[in-house]
Chains A and B, each alone.
Chain A
Amino acid sequence: MRKMLTIISNVLRGSASRNGAELVSEKCDLHKLEEGPPLQAVLTREEGLQYYRTMQTIRRMELKADQLYKQKIIRGFCHLYDGQEACAVGIETGINLSDHLITAYRAHGYTLTRGGTVREIMAELTGRRGGIAKGKGGSMHMYTKHFYGGNGIVGAQVPLGAGVALACKYLGNNEICVCLYGDGAANQGQIFETYNMASLWKLPCIFICENNKYGMGTSVERAAASTDYYKRGDFIPGLRLDGMDVLCVREATKFAAEHCRSGKGPILMELQTYRYHGHSMSDPGVSYRTREEIQEVRSKSDPISMLKDRMLSNNMASVEELKEIDVEVRKEIEDAAQFATTDPEPPLDDLCNHIFYNDPPMEVRGTNPWTKLKSVS
């Protein structure tokens, strides 16, 4: 009997997946736009499973980082992304790997979606030679192809992103740059300078504000005279949407990317999202918000649960299948953590390397006049 039911459910699932499911998104708030992204989108089974897997990987990776930090195996700053997974995953599915992306310091999720592996991300957090930046960058300074970090200075990444977009336009390669910042950074002067130039020169730049309601310990109401971040670009068209809904984020990103690629200039997206952890591992995150608030988001708007429920109710996957993915993800994270805790630290010879690119080897002064260290490109 059970076997029969399994066969029937597989057949049903098969028929649903052949077409994918037509899912309805919530309408976006629009600023200086006649129309927004489509309200309906097709999610295929493959896509759904892939988004689920990636979001779950980010979630588990961040939770493992939390654990390792508490064991003092990760040190310094560690800004975790759990809760915001739908943003990173949704954005990446709306652009191509050949496009460009830059963000601030809450960057582990993006490092993954942009092509980094869990192993090299975790080994970078633990400061080992197998880290994505060979242990020299740490949590806030991870880079991969067409991903410009990981930036520690609040807001500085926004002009950088517009510069990357300028290069795209200059080289005529039809690529765009996604330039992310938070609700805290949104008040930075250099961002307004960037809006101005990006708009003047019609740079193919998608500015995205990840509004997680708190800039460190300061709620948005206490920091911004206007919390309509999607309107703050003034002359730049903007849209505001639910950043917990991966499909919504995907469709909005596709819409924005098309806007940029068609030469219309920059566009601004505000993603309303939430972080479960505090600002960083040094912040318990409960002095400026209630545990009830956190719990409510977890139970009602968790991005992974939302996708899971959608897929189950549309017969796009079974509970077992998703559980299987969970098990695989857990294993991947365990293996990565194992690597990250056993890989050796960088060799001391590497201390002074990578100062200059394409330069002959040079001498670097050590801590005292008799110590001369070697530096190669």
Chain B
Amino acid sequence: MFLRHAVWYYHAFLYSILRYHVTVRDALNQALDEELERDERVFLLGEEVAQYDGAYKVSRGLWKKYGDKRIIDTPITEMGFAGIAVGAAMAGLRPICEFMTFNFSMQAIDQVINSAAKTYYMSAGLQPVPIVFRGPNGASAGVAAQHSQCFAAWYGHCPGLKVVSPWSAEDAKGLLKSAIRDDNPVVFLENELMYGVPFEMSEEAQSKDFLLPIGKAKIERQGNHVTLVSHSRMVSLCLDAAAVLAKEGIECEVINMRTIRPLDAEAIETSVMKTNHLITVEGGWPQFGVGAEILARIMEGPAFNFLDAPAVRVTGVDIPMPYAKILEDNSIPQIKDIIFSVKKTLNV
């Protein structure tokens, strides 16, 4: 009798844990499903999004549910289908254009920048372009130089675009829903290595109307000694580094940017004015990058006078991504690099 109760409680316990854990992939899938259901004008197009269930399975089950009209498999012609997606947005639909990875978006970048981003301005407000460009961005594992570039800085450079880079499952769901509902072109940078990572999802995040605001960063961990600012997968590394440093009495404040453009400079400034030390952490290349922009803003803003040491950047190494594992591992920031930089900055 006792054993039966114990077993029951054990299963209930497991169920309650598993129930509230969702992978980033599933969170994205939920967001897509909910927004497709909510608004008839929303549709998804890209390579393998329909019958293959998505190259990375992000769109699993959607074609079966919504059919050919709303989930469209395209030929391997990025410039063409990105342009078609932008045209459809101009004519009143709300397309989600998937790039299998953002590396391929380079073939279509003219349509993203010149046709999508600039049109509302050039037309002086006559022609909005409500489109989302989404797909995995940045380094993966062993895919070598042409498949590993981070485009946060490239797209973040351009007025007329919003550029979002989620980290957790909640980020992914809330921000993708906001991006789809936004009446402007949004570049949504996912990360392939994060797709399979489970996160706890709050009750609130389970709701069909759960939205996260574009342009607002989140403090993932409070701390007093140094501010670590990051986006996407690097947030995980910052938190891991913070856990190690905490054992030595160094408390890091970890900021998850969530959005690249518009950048939440205020959140970063507020934190720096508290901790007096700043380190940015990104997977992309250093020159003219996300960290470079953050440091420039800190120089130009009220937080400069609060710095006790120069603000620095931890970035990917300034080389094309190599293939061999040992080389690849040493091409992107590791936890030890963050720890090293924190100690250098704090002079400990």
Contact = CB atoms under 8 A, between A and B. Distances in A.
A141 B84 contact: no
Interface stretch (B53-61, B120-128, B225-233): B120-128
For chain B, the bracket of interface size reads: 35 or more
A354 B124 contact: yes
A133 B128 contact: no
Given A100-B91, A369-B300, A355 B83 contact: no
A158 interface: yes
A163 B114 contact: no
Residue picked from B75, B126, B159, B262, most chain A C-beta under 10 Å? B126
Interface string B57-85: 00000000000010010110101111111
A197 interface: yes
B89 to A, nearest CB: 7
B114 A153 contact: yes
Interface stretch (A8-16, A164-172, A241-249, A306-314): A164-172
A358 B125 CA distance: 10
Contacts of A330: none
A159 B82 contact: yes
B279 to A, nearest CB: 22
B160 interface: yes
A190 to B, nearest CB: 4
Interface stretch (A60-68, A143-151, A280-288): A143-151
B115 interface: yes
Nearest to A162: B84
Contacts of B262: 362
A166 B126 CA distance: 21
Nearest to B127: A143
Contacts, number: 152
B73 to A, nearest CB: 10
A189 B159 CA distance: 27
Nearest to B85: A163
Contacts of B121: 136, 354-355
B123 A193 contact: no
Interface string B88-105: 111111010000000000
Interface residues of A, number: 49
A159 B91 contact: no
A377 B128 CA distance: 10
A220 interface: no
B80 A160 contact: no
Interface in B252-271: 262
A141 B87 contact: no
B86 interface: yes
Nearest to A168: B91
Contacts of B160: 355-356
B127 to A, nearest CB: 5
A304 B72 CA distance: 46
Ranked 7 nearest A-B pairs via Cβ? A163-B87, A159-B83, A193-B80, A167-B91, A357-B128, A160-B87, A134-B124
29 contacts: A133-B122, A133-B123, A134-B124, A134-B125, A141-B122, A141-B123, A149-B119, A153-B114, A153-B115, A159-B87, A160-B87, A163-B86, A163-B90, A167-B87, A170-B69, A170-B88, A177-B91, A190-B77, A193-B79, A194-B80, A194-B83, A194-B84, A197-B74, A197-B81, A197-B84, A353-B124, A356-B120, A357-B125, A359-B183
Given A163-B95, A190-B77, A193-B75, 10 more contacts: A134-B125, A136-B124, A137-B122, A156-B110, A196-B75, A197-B75, A197-B77, A354-B125, A355-B159, A358-B183
